[in-house]
């Protein structure tokens, strides 16, 4: 087998066999296939695509490049969730204790934020003492003991995906549905859960800007999961504006606590409950979606879900007093209100611009090596559909930097204010699987 022949086959739109795909990934990882050949191959995939069998074979080749987490010592059906990433997405902070409170074990590995999107691990680290690294034994033991653990992704998981992603990033080959689907699903499969719920975001703050694109990606990922024996459900959810009210690490922990107290905003609460309800059905804690949704709502109203969050923080070494007194979370030195320049309705809020503005305030990383300021972020006082008058506060910037002018400009640009009232936002666009 020669790489050049496989590149030519893909360039001509031919399907590759499992052996050919394994050859490509194994030889690339062994350093025998150079980046220039891999780049040509990736570009051919971008133009010619991959069928379902090829995409599943690529997923498994990525999984087999590294460690596979064995969750079999954990009792019960392990259900994982994945979000394709967005702005203000604090859902894992809510869903992990919420699912654990109804008896579904969640052994969750999460990432750090990069660019305009945040990461669950960074958010949790805004709680003093919270450990996101632990031994495999402690991870398993915590899930068996309390039904949950939330840690950073193991460094040895899917190394081929890491190497390929870095190459895709600099060769204009990120936006290919089979490549994205294989990349995401390989990490989920290597992480060892039995069943998977995917939250595929659609809109200005997401990878997929339209519902149609997000649906296509969701369909491919559900196909991969099911064909590899992991029952998978995907939701296409709204990311046309930031999720909830808070963006930034400590800010989002504060908002997650409010949601678990039953005082969250409607959009983020509805999406959190919907994702968790699908996990609860897949985990066989409930027979069907409606009773799962009600059961989870009851876990919030009764305070059980919040108690589980307190337990999670304590178990992982964090200062649990923040749960009852969120003012103990890091606070920025400066709080700058940004006002509406005119009367009208908030017609739309570009989530990506808000995400980039939060990053400029210190909440995110421009490069992987950057450190972050847990106290920095943005509070949105007006969301899409709200009527505002000139001079009303649209949002507050929280920061320790001395020059916030670029962030302020970007945050204001994110808001479109119009005399026309926008159509109401649909939170859940599609359920697939």
Which two three-digit tokens encode residue 354?
């808000």
DSSP assignment, residue 425? Answer: P
**Residue 39 among the catalytic residues:** no
Residue choice 28, 130, 139, 207 for contact with ligand URA (CB under 6 A): 207
Are 190 and 400 in contact, with CB atoms under 8 Å apart?
no
Given the residues 82, 116, 308, 353, select the one marked as catalytic. 82
Question: Can you name the residues that pair with 431 across neighbouring β-strands?
Answer: 235
Given the residues 65, 84, 126, 183, select the one marked as catalytic. 183
**Residue 390 among the catalytic residues:** no
Nearer to ligand URA, 127 or 180 (CB): 180
Q: Tell me which stretch binds ligand URA (CB under 6 A): 22-30, 172-180, 329-337, 392-400.
A: 172-180
According to the binding rule CB under 6 A, does residue 183 interact with ligand URA? yes
Q: Tell me which stretch binds ligand URA (CB under 6 A): 174-182, 238-246, 273-281, 394-402.
A: 174-182
Q: What is the largest CA-CA distance in the chain?
A: 67
Q: What is the DSSP string of 328-380?
A: GS---SEEEEEE-SSSEEEEEE-HHHHHHHHIIIIIS-SSTT----TT-EEEE
Residue choice 45, 74, 127, 180 for contact with ligand URA (CB under 6 A): 180
Residue choice 62, 63, 95, 184 for contact with ligand URA (CB under 6 A): 184
- CB 253 to ligand URA: min, Å: 23
Computed on alpha carbons and rounded to an integer, the radius of gyration of the chain in Å comes to: 22
Are 205 and 241 in contact, with CB atoms under 8 Å apart?
yes
Work out whether the CA dihedral 411, 413, 416, 418 comes out positive or negative.
positive
Question: How far, in whole angstroms, is CA 218 from its chain's centroid?
Answer: 14
Output the residue with the shortest Cβ distance to ligand URA.
183
H/E element, 415? strand 415-418
Residues near ligand URA (CB under 6 A), total: 7
Q: Tell me which stretch binds ligand URA (CB under 6 A): 67-75, 98-106, 175-183, 340-348.
A: 175-183
According to the binding rule CB under 6 A, does residue 157 interact with ligand URA? no
**Residue 82 among the catalytic residues:** yes
Residues that bind ligand URA (CB under 6 A): 165, 174, 179-180, 183-184, 207
The catalytic site residues sit at 82, 161, 168, 183, 187
């Amino acid at each position: 087998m020669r790489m050049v022949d496989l590149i030519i086959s893909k360039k001509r739109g031919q399907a590759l066999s499992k052996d050919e795909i394994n050859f490509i990934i194994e030889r690339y990882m062994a350093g025998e296939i150079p980046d220039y050949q891999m780049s040509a191959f990736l570009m051919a995939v971008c133009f010619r695509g991959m069928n379902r069998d090829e995409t599943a074979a690529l997923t498994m080749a990525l999984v087999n490049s590294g460690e596979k987490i064995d969750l079999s010592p954990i009792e019960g059906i392990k259900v994982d969730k994945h979000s394709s990433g967005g702005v203000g997405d604090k859902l894992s902070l809510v869903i992990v204790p919420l699912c654990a409170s109804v008896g579904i074990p969640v052994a969750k590995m999460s990432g750090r934020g990069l660019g305009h999107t945040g990461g669950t691990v960074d958010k949790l680290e805004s709680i003093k003492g919270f450990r996101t690294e632990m031994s495999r034994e402690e991870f398993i033991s915590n899930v068996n003991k309390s039904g949950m653990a939330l840690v950073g992704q193991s460094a040895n998981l899917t190394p081929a995906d890491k190497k390929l992603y870095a190459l895709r990033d600099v060769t204009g080959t990120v936006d290919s549905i089979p490549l994205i689907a294989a990349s995401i699903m390989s990490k989920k499969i290597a992480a060892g859960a039995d069943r998977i719920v995917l939250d595929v975001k659609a809109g200005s703050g997401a990878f997929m800007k339209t519902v149609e694109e997000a649906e296509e990606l969701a369909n491919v990922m559900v196909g991969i999961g099911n064909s590899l024996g992991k029952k998978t459900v995907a939701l296409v959810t709204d990311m046309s504006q930031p999720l909830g009210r808070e963006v930034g690490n400590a800010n989002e922990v504060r908002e997650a606590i409010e949601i678990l107290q039953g005082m969250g905003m409607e959009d983020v609460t509805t999406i959190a409950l919907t994702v968790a309800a699908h996990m609860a059905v897949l985990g066989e804690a409930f027979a069907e979606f409606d009773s799962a949704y009600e059961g989870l709502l009851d876990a919030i109203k009764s305070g059980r879900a919040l108690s589980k969050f307190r337990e999670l923080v304590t178990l992982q070494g964090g200062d649990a007093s923040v749960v009852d007194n969120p003012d103990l979370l890091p606070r920025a030195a400066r709080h700058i209100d940004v006002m509406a320049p005119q009367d009208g309705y908030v017609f739309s809020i570009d989530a990506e611009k808000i995400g980039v503005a939060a990053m400029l305030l210190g909440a995110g990383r421009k490069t992987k090596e950057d450190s972050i300021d847990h106290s920095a972020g943005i509070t949105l006082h007006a969301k899409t559909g709200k009527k505002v008058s000139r001079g009303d506060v649209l949002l507050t910037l929280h920061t320790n930097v001395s020059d916030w002018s670029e962030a302020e400009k970007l945050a204001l640009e994110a808001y479109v204010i119009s005399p026309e009232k926008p159509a109401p936002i649909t939170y859940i666009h599609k359920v697939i699987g």
